[in-house]
């Protein structure tokens, strides 16, 4: 078995374990964690000075982003949210409030405003990435669809280096995430217990 194949299989196993742990969370646990995560994230210097933040709308038992999105928007920060394209790449649209979010494919919520194009993320001062885990090296485990791998590749290709931040539950900071050649480390992870930063 080649390294790429074994890495994919190991990622799939770890994803299954982490998603099962999320399914066991109560609604109260998830809401409490979301409030703490928003407070900790808003204290980040990377967000404090940002004019534009690329983020996402949490769904299900994902670490909650709703309070964070509303607070950033209320502060006058331009918040870009992803719009899933048919090929799994991401377009972007501005967040203008929860009443302007529409149900989309895969249970996602997307803004109802004008599409800004996949390159809109290049103007972000910080990027909040969804994930299932981050390891001691800052490597992130996503859900496996590849959408954010494309976003990260776009940033690298354009030589744009905004801070990359992931919001997770405490148990999702792990010793090691299986690695594949296209993986990029993030700069920080925010959990209910605190913030951990990574350096290249």
147 is in an annotated binding site: yes
146 is in an annotated binding site: yes
Q: Which of 129, 151, 125, 155 is nearest to 140 (CA)?
A: 129
107 is in an annotated binding site: no
58 is in an annotated binding site: no
145 is in an annotated binding site: yes
**Contact indicator for 161, 187 with CB cutoff of 8 Å:** no
**Contact indicator for 53, 78 with CB cutoff of 8 Å:** yes
102 is in an annotated binding site: no
140 is in an annotated binding site: yes
Q: How far is CA 151 from each of CA 129, 136, 146, 155, 162, rounded to the nearest angstrom?
A: 10, 22, 9, 6, 12
175 is in an annotated binding site: no
66 is in an annotated binding site: no
74 is in an annotated binding site: no
172 is in an annotated binding site: no
142 is in an annotated binding site: yes
Q: Which of 112, 109, 128, 116 is nearest to 57 (CA)?
A: 109
13 is in an annotated binding site: yes
Task: State the binding site for substrate.
Answer: 57, 62
Task: State the binding site.
Answer: 11-15, 57, 62, 140-148
Task: State the binding site for ATP.
Answer: 11-15, 140-148
């Amino acid at each position: 078995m080649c390294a790429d194949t074994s890495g994919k299989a190991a990622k799939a196993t770890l994803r299954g374990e982490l998603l099962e742990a999320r399914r066991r969370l109560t609604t109260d646990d998830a809401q409490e964690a979301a409030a703490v995560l928003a407070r900790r994230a808003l204290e980040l210097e990377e967000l404090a000075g940002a004019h534009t933040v690329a983020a996402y709308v949490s769904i299900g038992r994902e670490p909650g982003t709703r309070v964070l999105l509303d607070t950033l928007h209320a502060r006058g920060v331009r918040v870009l949210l992803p719009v899933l394209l048919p090929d799994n790449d991401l377009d972007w649209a501005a967040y203008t409030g929860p009443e302007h979010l529409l149900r989309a494919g895969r249970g996602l919520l997307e803004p109802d405003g004008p599409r800004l194009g996949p390159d809109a993320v290049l103007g972000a001062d910080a990027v909040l990435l969804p994930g299932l885990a981050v390891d001691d090296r800052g490597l992130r485990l996503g859900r496996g669809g590849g959408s954010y791998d494309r976003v990260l590749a776009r940033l690298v290709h354009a030589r744009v280096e905004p801070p990359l931040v992931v919001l997770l539950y405490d148990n999702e900071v792990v010793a090691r995430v299986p690695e594949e050649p296209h993986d990029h480390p993030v700069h920080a992870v925010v959990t209910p217990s605190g913030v951990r930063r990574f350096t290249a």
